[in-house]
Amino acid sequence: MKKNFRVKNPAGIPQHLVDEDNKSPGSTMCLKAMMFVGVLIIAQYVISQIIMRGYHRTVFPHYTGRCRNVSPLKTGSEDIAITSDGLAFITSGIKLFHKLVPADSRIMNFEGRIYLFDFNHPEKPAKKLRMVKLPQMKDFAPQGISIWEDKDGGHISVLVVNHRLWQARDTVEIFSFDRNTLVLHHKKTVINEFFRSLNDIAATGPSSFYVTNDGHYTFSPLRLLERFGMFPWGDVLHVNNDNALKVLNKMYEVSGIALSSDGRYVFLASPYGQDLHVYSRGEDDKLTIFQKINLGTAPDDITIDSSTGDLIVSCFPVWHQVFKSVSNFGERGAAQVLRLTSKSLDPDKRYIATRTIELFADDGELISQSSTAVVYGDALLIGSVTDRTVYCDLKG
């Protein structure tokens, strides 16, 4: 039988101290090295969170022209899509419980609706649109919105991300818009096994679209683990005739998505990475990375200025304020809108080199947390997750 020998201790020194002295120097150094690496990893995570969430940033109000709030919108205008002739469709009344975002109790009184704002008559209030034949109307909680215009017949399809309250799957609702009666006629509900935590949508046809999953889990504590652990479990899908194709995998908290006017490029917002990704679109709708643009701020939504092709990017410059302002409407979050213009006239190099212009910045007094923005002519319309909507005349 093998015996265990211990160092003799005639002086009566406590045995655990004798055992400590007999540890090899190599094992002690290894332990210290592991502890040092662990501290570095934790420090890197903390510093990255501070930078991403904008704790170091201060925003001062800055905008050209005159700005005012748009009546009657007071319960959010999370996303906006605009037609070629200046009709802006606005989603309002988002519920955020599926993402386990702590929200002010007043959000339960928000009514899920779609509004219409006419840039040709900006002095008029936004109009709440009537929705016909939409199932489970009381559970309608819209977020992302996109439109598809039939250039020949003038027909407008409206595609909306819907977070049905306490439902396991998000859906996409497809409407047909009647210009004469200003009514949205519900045509179809799209649901798919890959729909988990939908955020934004970009139409590629009257019933086909790209859509972002900003995460994997909903209504689960695992969503908090996913977010704070920075696990890349989101993705981007292309859906056509109810068939969904994953075109991008392993994405972390992606949000806004947009299609270029010519359909050749897809733009994707990565708020935590503070990047805007540009992808070239293949004939099979698959995406290939073309360019990554660091903005130094957290982009949320992307729209296209149809007259110039410029990108209009709404941002959360102080990211941590978004969560504060959503959980308590008395808190305010800073707002920011950027315009990205190209320095190249070559269509194949258009987005490689860009110039960034700040169109709008606010400390939260005029509008809290800018989630979307559209430009039409010399006018700017800015939306918010849970706050008011702002119209700016850029001419002054």
Average confidence (pLDDT) per 10 residues, the chain, 396 residues: 50 52 69 83 74 72 91 94 96 76 80 96 96 89 95 88 81 96 96 94 97 85 80 94 93 94 94 92 95 93 94 91 83 94 78 88 94 96 95 88
Q: Which residue in the block uniquely carries the two structure tokens 């995406």?
A: 287
Spatial contact of 107 and 159, defined as CB atoms under 8 Å apart: no
Long-range contacts of 213-220 (CB under 8 A, 24+ apart): 213/237, 213/251, 213/254, 214/99, 214/253, 214/254, 214/255, 215/99, 215/253, 218/98, 218/99, 218/168, 218/170, 219/97, 219/98, 219/100, 219/166, 219/168, 220/100
Write down the residue that tokens 């977020």 correspond to.
143
- Which tokens go with 92? 């309002």
Note every long-range contact of 341-349, with CB atoms under 8 Å and residues 24 or more positions apart, other chains counting. 341/308, 341/310, 342/309, 342/310, 347/262, 347/264
Closest C-alpha among 172, 204, 211 to residue 188: 172
pLDDT at position 5 is: 47
**Pair of tokens at residue 206:** 């009257």
Alpha-carbon distances, residue 13 vs 6, 9, 28, 320 (angstroms): 13, 6, 21, 55
Q: What is the number of residues in the chain?
A: 396
How many helices (H) and strands (E) would you count in the chain? 4, 26
Sheet strands side by side (includes 87-92) = 79-82, 87-92, 113-118, 127-128
pLDDT at residue number 352: 78
User: 3-class SS at 247?
Assistant: strand
> What is the maximal distance between C-alpha atoms in the chain?
102
- Rounded (5°) CA angle 382-144-163: 130
- For the entire predicted model, the pTM comes to 0.86
Residue type for position 284: D
Measured CA to CA, the distance from residue 337 to residue 136 in angstroms comes to 35
Radius of gyration of the chain (CA): 25
Distance CA 200, CA 385 (A): 13
Question: How far is residue 260's CA from residue 248's CA, in Å, rounded to a whole number?
Answer: 18
